[in-house]
Amino acid sequence: MSTMPEGDAAGQQGNTQHGTHPGAPPQAGVPSQEQYTGRPHGPVPAQSRGSEPSGDPGSQPGRATPVTRPETRVTGRRVVQYLIDAFLVGLIPSLVSIPFDQSDSTFIHVLGGIVSFAIFVLIGLMYWVIFAHRQNGQTLGMKLLGLRIISKGGGQASMAQLFIRWICLIFDAIPYTWPFTGLVGFIVILCSRDRQRIGDHLAGTLVIAAGSTVRSPQYAGARTQDAGTGPSQPPIEPRQQSAGAQQPPPQQGQPGMQPGEPGAGPSQK
């Protein structure tokens, strides 16, 4: 015969039942004790990533800053910049050709022209393409006059765009006589709506005024799609409840209720 009180035995049995099955649904008639803590049990369904919060494009790093058409109205500075850059690129080849020009031999003159042209092409490639790309679309003349080359589609001009732009100097630099060099390019710039020379049209580039606040400019007239400019929607957090909390507790007198269970009526004897 057990000497343990009936109340203690019932309490111990209840504690054992709830302790051994922590994830079991609560008994009928007892309010659910499960609360949402932000860490749902089980696998969470995949959520679609919403668009990033929109805001001031210039305040977020890496976001393109719109460039308006008036910022391309820098024709006067471009003329001075081109004369400076053309002088720097042609300085060394001109100095190299001096010893060859002093010779009376035709062969030496031809050889000097070939050597000078090869040096001119090599320096031009390094200066107009490689150096300008490493300097964020700026040559020394552009740095001096506050200009910058950008892609018309938005962002920094690529190496391929700068290469096309440099090759097209064959046409833009006509005539090649100093100081009238680049007259054809100057006329095309004046006739262009976005102040582009032949190289800019073929390469898809623009020359704008370089400001200190312009990090990654984007031309406002370009047809580009920015996935981050749409309205932002907060992600929906999943809220899960236990199976017992989703179903209402059975009422008194319903079938399936056993005598002695919580919420049941007085047992019939």
* Alpha-carbon separation of residue 72 from 51, 171, 265, 267 (angstroms): 32, 21, 87, 92
Give a yes or no: residue 106 inside a domain. yes
Query: In this structure, how many other beta carbons lie within 10 angstroms of the beta carbon of residue 182?
Result: 22
Residue 146 pLDDT: 94
Residue 95 inside a domain? The answer is yes
Whether 230 is in a domain gets the answer: no
Q: What is the token pair recorded at 41?
A: 């049990």
Give the predicted TM-score (pTM) of the model.
0.57
Q: Tens digit of pLDDT per residue, the chain (269 long)?
A: 444 444 444 444 444 444 444 445 555 444 444 443 444 444 444 444 444 444 444 444 445 556 778 889 999 999 999 999 999 999 999 999 999 988 888 999 999 999 999 999 999 999 999 999 999 999 999 999 999 999 988 789 999 999 999 999 999 999 988 778 899 999 999 999 999 999 999 999 999 998 744 445 566 655 444 444 444 444 455 555 444 445 555 555 555 555 555 554 444 44
Residue 67 confidence (pLDDT) = 72
Distance CA 124, CA 134 (A): 15
- Specify the amino acid at residue 66: P
At 91, list the tokens: 């300085």
* Domain housing 101: 63-215
In a domain? residue 266: no
What pairing do the DSSP bridges indicate for beta strands 65-67 and 217-219?
A: parallel
pLDDT at 65: 57
Whether 130 maps to a domain, the answer reads yes
Stretch (H or E) spanning 147: strand 147-151
Asked if residue 183 lies in contact with residue 242, where contact means CB atoms within 8 angstroms, the answer is no
What's the total number of domains in the chain? 1
pLDDT for residue 212: 40
147 forms beta bridges with: 209
Q: What is the pLDDT of residue 81?
A: 95
**Does residue 153 fall inside a structural domain?**
yes
